[in-house]
Structures are given as structure tokens and as C-alpha cells.
Structure 1
Amino acid sequence: MKIIVRKDPPPLDTQDYDWRAVVHPYQHGDRIGWGRTQKRAIADLLDQLGLEPSTAVEVKDESGD
């Protein structure tokens, strides 16, 4: 499974949504994982998909940093 991550902090008083993770290819309406870190966003996405945190994933960071 390929997961795309991106750091794009919204103008909020929390860092809980700084990172987002989606399954590639993303389609409108698909699940989005959110987190303070890349790792937490991926874990949130896997949890939403009903997958174990140990699930093997290929990660691509599209933050542009």
C-alpha cells in the first residue's frame, strides 16, 4: 500500500492537523489521517481503514520542504 503524506499546517491553535496521510491514488471522499507528526497521521489513517499499525506501507512525502 502506498501512502502520501504532506505537512500543511492549517491556521489553528493546535498542531493535531499539521500532517495528513492518504492512500495513493487519493479520490475525493477517501479517508484522511491527521496528526502532529507524519507517523501519527499514518497511524490515524491505518486505524480508520481498520488495518494494524504494523501494516507494511510505502510512504511518499509531498511536503515540498
Structure 2
Amino acid sequence: MVVTVSLVALFGLVLFFLLRSRTLGFGAAFIAAGFGFFLASTGAARPINQLAESVIQAVSQL
């Protein structure tokens, strides 16, 4: 769990700086995918899934 949280923090930080510098390419896609996979294995996965479901339901009802 400690390694996973560390990788989530690392990928999140790298993704933040890549997005901020507007660097888009294969590297940014890899970092974003890695961030998502590591984030999915933390305790934050359930609230993120619930938020995504709520947003999808709200948009479909518009």
C-alpha cells in the first residue's frame, strides 16, 4: 500500500507538470494511464467511481 500511494503521488505530480507545461504526447499518455492504474488500487477508487457515475447520470438527464 505504501508503494502504491507513493506511485500515485509521483504520477500525479508528473501529470500535473506535464499538463501545466502543455506537453502532450506519448509520455503524457503513459503517465496519465499509469496514474489511473495506481489510483484505482487505492482507497480513492470508490469515491472517484461514484463521482463519475453521478456526473454521467446528471449529463444523461439533461
TM-score normalised according to structure 2 size: 0.27
Richer in helix (by share): 2
Larger radius of gyration: 2
